[in-house]
Amino acid sequence: MTTEVTEMTWDTRLDPFGKLLPGKSWDDQPGMDPGEQEYLLAVIDRPIAIHRCLAEVAGDLSAGAMLTELSALEQERGCDWLDVDEAEWTHRLGLSPAQQHATRRKLVRLGFLEEKLFGNVSRVHFRLVWPALDAALRQQSQQRVAYGDMTNH
């Protein structure tokens, strides 16, 4: 007995309700044009991972993403003070410079992040304040236990 493996493709001629999209014809191929597919795969970059617990203690996804990324960078680079410029933040998290500054201000205000100028050109370096993060995470954990919310959302 031979089983035939078929490749699943989306019928890009149809909308979610099965109706033919404007500009499409039943004579068109049902799959995506190879050029469009290549473009789409190039545009869809690596995902941005965010530890949910960090987003929760920081109060929003941008702050959670920055905390997650800083903790990963700290492990990768093996140093406390991290030099991450605006272009690198934009590449890593997709945050605009204005979003970066607002997020950093929030994290400093919460006590989770320290900033310091280093070097001849006075570049801003960052350091996570682990005791403050640890305290916030422990408090969050205790609240979950107290309210019976031990589900992994």
Residue 8 has pLDDT above 90, yes or no: no
How many domains does the structure of the chain reveal?
1
How large is the average pLDDT for residues 68-85? Answer: 94
Residue 144 has pLDDT above 60, yes or no: yes
In this prediction, residue 33 carries a pLDDT of 73
In this prediction, residue 25 carries a pLDDT of 81
How large is the average pLDDT for residues 90-118? Answer: 96
In a domain, 87, yes or no: yes
CATH code: domain of residue 91: 1.10.10.10
The 10 Å Cβ neighbour count of residue 46 is 6
Residue 44 and residue 37 in contact, taking contact as beta carbons nearer than 8 Å: no
Residue 20 and residue 13 in contact, taking contact as beta carbons nearer than 8 Å: yes
In a domain, 74, yes or no: yes
pLDDT in tens, 18-45: 888 887 887 877 677 777 778 877 778 7
In a domain, 71, yes or no: yes
φ, ψ of residue 125 to 5 degrees: the values are -115, 155
Helices (H), 3-152: 34-43, 52-58, 61-77, 86-93, 97-110, 130-146
